[in-house]
Amino acid sequence: MTTTLPPPMGGPSPAEVPLPHAPLVRVIAQVRFPTILSIRNPEQVATFQEKIRRAYPVLNQEEIRRVVLNADQPASDPKIQEDVVWRFSDRDRKWRVSLATDFVALETTSYDNRRDFLTRLRSIVGAVETTMNPQEAFRLGVRYIDRITGPALRDISKLIRQEVLGVSLSPIGAAAETVLTQTQFRAEEGLLQARWGLLPANGTIDPGTLEPIDEPSWILDLDMSSTEPLDFSADILGNAAEQFTERVYSVFRWMVSADFLRFYGGQP
């Protein structure tokens, strides 16, 4: 595909450099599809469970409530919608599959490599495809969250590009407790939402995915998503997710230095 977008938003992804001690705290992939009401039914979900139960044997059912606002109704009269999310985890609770009436997601706090993650994602999407038969995926998203703490945080100016650190490198940067940047980029494959910066102790940008910790940290949150609907197919969505992971990696590599790779055990 011909593109005029500059690297890292266009062009090939650099070769992956394994980081044995990577500061990656969570990776998430989510596929959203038109609502399938039968997913509320345990009997319907049981077939899906059997397809993934060997890898994700622990099941929890969560009841959730959503506030739905209707443009034709006063804001003071919201509608409360109750729904269910089925959570399937591995025995170590490091991998989790979430299935709801309008999405399926795979997330991990123990990411090892891109191939393993994509293989798992294709398997999960394939299980939904064969048991629930959604016709369309109107959004695919892949998200990587890194968190730098401790000695690495004190050497942040050596690990992250100066253009990224911005005001943190200025004379007033030493007085900053919170420095956050949020930017939406147009990439070759879709849109990339990026958030990065300094968080104080017990700070977070998203409690559901980034747990507060008792020390300052510098975070990098890269979320790549589709802009057009896709056929709900394990092959199509798996291939698209692979392209997304490569684009996210391209942006990550642009933001970090060779010192960063070495610090976390890589050999650039």
pLDDT tens-digit map of 231-261: 999 999 999 999 999 999 999 999 999 999 9
Query: What residue type is assigned to position 4 of the chain?
Result: T
Q: What is the mean pLDDT of residues 76-103?
A: 90
Strands 136-137 and 230-231, bridge-based pairing:
antiparallel
pLDDT tens-digit map of 7-40: 999 999 999 999 999 999 999 999 999 999 999 9
Residue 66 or residue 3, greater confidence? 66
Burial (CB count within 10 angstroms: exposed 0-12, middle 13-18, buried 19+), residue 226: buried
CB half-sphere exposure, 73, CA atoms < 13 A: 8
| φ, ψ (nearest 5 deg) of residue 112 | -105, -55
Q: Which pTM does this prediction carry?
A: 0.93
Coil, helix or strand at residue 254: helix
